[in-house]
Structure 1
Amino acid sequence: MKKVLGVDIGGTKIRMGIVDADGTVHVDETIPTITPLYPYLEEQVLSMMARYPEISAIGIGTRGMVDAENGIITFETATLPGWQGTHVKSQLEKATGLRVEVNNDANCAALAEATIGAAKGIRRVVCLTVGTGLGGGFVFDNIVMNGAHGGAGEVGHMTLYPRGYACTCGRLGCNEQYVSGTALNRMIAEKNLLDSNGILMKSHDLFDSAKAGDEVAKSIISTFVSDFASVISTIQAALDMDVVVIGGGVADSSEYWWNDLLEALQPLLLKPLELKKAVFGNEAGMLGAAMLVQENVTVKA
């Protein structure tokens, strides 16, 4: 069975795994992210190839926006200085002699869920990652939808409330200002919701507080759920997907709000829609990066 190298590049660490077509991980290593990034990445990939000569192709998932067709990083913040503008695909293919594909990390996570995870065997898949922000990825017929500039799937930056809260992207009222861990923390601060020690509560404590009967906590979660349902229904109106897979740190607490989300969503849906919980956690990016270069996946703009 074909074994490939999947590389997930984050702001502080890089995860590298040797993975086969069914998602079995044979080697899994984590190294720190060091800048300048490209020469370091090439060095680490060549080291993996020397130790594991069975590697037949390389998939890279990374922060930022990616021109997936050409494997170029088109946008990245100062978190990875010098990474923006890097021609990863052409340089790494020249250095390794292997096929290389590059894509955004959220798209890679979506690809993992669509091909070997919660939505395996389903044609039209939208994955939403609810963490510090709100990320997304669209995978139709095992094809990652990248868009003309690598910006498809940026659901966190669709507008939910015009003239709403300022977003880090510079616009107002974006989805992730209402559906994310950051949004929950903002609402907690606005309500001055304190924990048992008199300290401002964190989002991960909110759900336990609501379960214990705190009415303020319940109202925050109700607002979050209502906004999340609106986000999903809007995406459905544009894409008419078969399924939405939901993952991320906030989704780890979905046992507290999942049924409420299903209930809030029903009157907003234009067509039937299935919701599933993601099966992969932190390994989703690495697995999806590996799937970029498996034979059952097509990568194009």
Structure 2
Amino acid sequence: MVKVLGVDIGGTKVRMSVVDDAGAITLDEKLPTQFPLYPYLEEQVLRFLELDPEIEAIGIGTHGFVDPTQGKVIYATETLPGWTGTLVKEQLERATGKRVEVENDANAAALAEAKFGAAKGYSRTVCLTLGTGLGGGVIWDGNLLSGGKHGGAAELGHMILYPNGVLCTCGREGCSEQYVSGTALVRRIKEAGLQITPQELFTTASTNPEAQKVVDGFTKDLALVISSLQAAFDMDIVVIGGGVSESAEFWWDQLNRHLEPLLLNPVEVKVAQFENEAGILGAALLVLDENK
């Protein structure tokens, strides 16, 4: 049995788990994100290696643009201050003597869904994670599409949906994640004058016309994103994960109604099988799966 350490780095917490080659999670901890981040990460990884000496390698999924070849964070927003430019792979391999691989967190989630989850058995998968932002991962004939000259391949949330639209954290206007994400829902709710949470939005939409308008705009924009991605990738399946997907039962039919006239060809769309587990499983797969 091969055992590796998976690390999922977010703005508020770092999750670390020992994962085996069957996808089973054993040792599992959620820690508050602390800054400066790299020294803290190294300290925690070394602690896990002491807890389980059988760990053979370390896979890390992180927010931001990542060069997976160098294992370097090319760009991270102020969600992770000081993280931009960090040579995570080089430093951590030197500190641990173990193989280390680093990827964008949404790419890691896509790996998990393709290997073990909703996209298992499909050749070409687009995974969308609807969380604070809109993350994206693309699996092409079994291989992860990632990297790029600036680490920005498959940054699907930064495709411009509405030119001259809402200002994005990347500095441009109208990016998809400003319309299709948890943060976007908070803004839409506020603009509609509603005093409810995103969770309440979906449960009250059937009886609240203003809430229904917000849900309609959200699902229509998500359908536009999916249809544009189909024109680029002609994927076999779209998997939708992230925190917003947990309420999919309330808006799934509406999404499909918007999708039907926009698609060039039929495409299967599924809710992600792994919710909070996708990031950690995908991080582990970076060092478990030869076709990462």
Instruction: Give yes or no for contact 1:22–1:116 (8 Å, CA) kept in 2.
Output: no
CA distance in 1, matches of 2:28, 2:52: 12
- Greater CA drift, 29-38 or 255-264: 29-38
Instruction: Give yes or no for contact 2:132–2:182 (8 Å, CA) kept in 1.
Output: yes
2:198 paired residue number: 203
Instruction: Give yes or no for contact 1:128–1:246 (8 Å, CA) kept in 2.
Output: yes
1:75 paired residue number: 75
Picking from 239, 242, 265, the partner of 1:245 is: 239
Show structure 1 runs of 4+ deviating over 4 A.
none
- SS of the equivalent of 2:114 reads helix
Instruction: Give yes or no for contact 2:68–2:147 (8 Å, CA) kept in 1.
Output: no
The superposition leaves residues 106-154 of structure 1 with CA deviations (integer Å, 9 ceiling, x where unpaired) of 1111111111111112111111111222111112233221141221222
Query: What is the 5 A alignment of 1:77-226?
Result: 77-148=77-148, 149-193=150-194, 200-211=195-206, 213-226=207-220
- SS of the equivalent of 1:60 reads strand
CA distance in 1, matches of 2:19, 2:159: 34
The superposition leaves residues 231-251 of structure 1 with CA deviations (integer Å, 9 ceiling, x where unpaired) of 100011001111100011221
Picking from 227, 230, 235, the partner of 1:236 is: 230
CA distance in 1, matches of 2:90, 2:114: 27
- SS of the equivalent of 1:268 reads coil
**AA aligned opposite 1:187:** R
The superposition leaves residues 152-180 of structure 1 with CA deviations (integer Å, 9 ceiling, x where unpaired) of 22222111111222222222222122212
The structure having more radius of gyration, on CA atoms, is 1
CA distance in 2, matches of 1:171, 1:280: 31
**AA aligned opposite 2:27:** V
- SS of the equivalent of 2:174 reads coil
Instruction: Give yes or no for contact 1:291–1:297 (8 Å, CA) kept in 2.
Output: no
- SS of the equivalent of 2:102 reads strand
Work out which structure has the larger RCO, using CA pairs closer than 8 Å and 6 or more positions apart in sequence.
1
Identity %: 60
Picking from 270, 278, 285, the partner of 2:279 is: 285
Verify: 1:276 aligned to 2:276, yes or no. no
The superposition leaves residues 187-211 of structure 1 with CA deviations (integer Å, 9 ceiling, x where unpaired) of 2222212xxxxxx222211112113
Report the TM-score, using the length of structure 1 for normalisation.
0.91
The superposition leaves residues 230-288 of structure 1 with CA deviations (integer Å, 9 ceiling, x where unpaired) of 11000110011111000112211111111121121122111221111111122221111
Aligned length: 291
CA distance in 2, matches of 1:160, 1:78: 23
CA distance in 2, matches of 1:226, 1:79: 28
The superposition leaves residues 65-106 of structure 1 with CA deviations (integer Å, 9 ceiling, x where unpaired) of 111011011112334333221211122222222211001111
RMSD: 1.6
Verify: 1:29 aligned to 2:29, yes or no. yes
CA distance in 2, matches of 1:8, 1:80: 13
Instruction: Give yes or no for contact 2:179–2:221 (8 Å, CA) kept in 1.
Output: yes
CA distance in 1, matches of 2:114, 2:46: 29
Instruction: Give yes or no for contact 2:76–2:84 (8 Å, CA) kept in 1.
Output: yes
Consecutive unaligned residues of structure 1, counting only runs of 5 or more, are 194-199
- SS of the equivalent of 2:66 reads strand
Q: Per-residue deviation at 1:181? A: 2.3
The superposition leaves residues 14-39 of structure 1 with CA deviations (integer Å, 9 ceiling, x where unpaired) of 11111112211021112222222222
- SS of the equivalent of 2:275 reads coil
**AA aligned opposite 2:171:** G
CA distance in 2, matches of 1:73, 1:131: 20
Distance 1:147 1:238, change over 3 A: farther
CA distance in 2, matches of 1:141, 1:131: 26
